[in-house]
């Protein structure tokens, strides 16, 4: 699928059949022991049906959570690929918005937090830098809660600007 300026305005393009993120993609933001530990915990989730993921704030998992979170992060990555490709062929590149579940902006680099397993937007931003050579990325997070996980992932990175608009 190609995103071009003809899709701007009120048209909505739904991207389907995107690839899941790889563990290397996830590892660009999250700690290796957290990723491997979560993957191993899926066996326990298969047996119990629902497990609590250690972290701060409630985050639960089922047997399919690991694969679902790879798909969620992969959706963001696919969106980055589409926007970058469109910007190479159009002087009026598209603006993109991804509505992804499970959410991700509370997931910190070392673990889950607040119903978030992996930081989808953080992973997509890092992917844009690593795979497409983008020098700077601007993330706008609007939610009633602060996107603390995304904030933590890039707090000391001058090349990623994170703006969180949230309820006080």
Q: Is 106 a catalytic residue?
A: yes
Catalytic residue among 30, 105, 106, 166: 106
- What percentage of the chain's residues is helix, strand, coil (to nearest 5)? 40, 15, 45
Tell me which residue of 54, 31, 57 sits closest to 113, measured CA to CA: 57
Beta strands at 55-56 and 112-113: parallel, antiparallel or unpaired: parallel
| Spatial distance between the Cα atoms of 73 and 68, rounded to a whole number of angstroms | 9
- Just list the catalytic residues: 106
């Amino acid at each position: 699928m190609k995103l071009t300026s003809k899709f701007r305005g009120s048209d909505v393009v739904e991207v389907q059949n995107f690839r899941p993120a790889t563990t290397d993609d996830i590892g660009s933001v999250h700690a290796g022991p957290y990723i491997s530990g979560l993957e191993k915990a899926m066996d326990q989730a298969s047996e119990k049906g629902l497990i609590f993921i250690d972290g701060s704030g409630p985050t639960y998992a089922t047997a399919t959570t690991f694969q679902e979170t790879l798909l969620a992060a992969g959706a963001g990555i696919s969106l980055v690929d589409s926007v970058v490709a469109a910007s190479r062929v159009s002087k009026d590149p598209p603006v993109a918005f991804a509505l992804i579940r499970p959410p991700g902006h509370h997931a910190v680099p070392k673990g889950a937090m607040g119903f978030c397993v992996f930081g989808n937007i953080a992973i997509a931003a890092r992917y844009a830098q690593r795979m497409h050579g983008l020098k700077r990325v601007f993330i706008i997070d609007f939610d009633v809660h602060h996107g603390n996980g995304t904030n933590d992932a890039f707090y000391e990175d001058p090349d990623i600007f994170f703006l969180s608009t949230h309820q006080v």
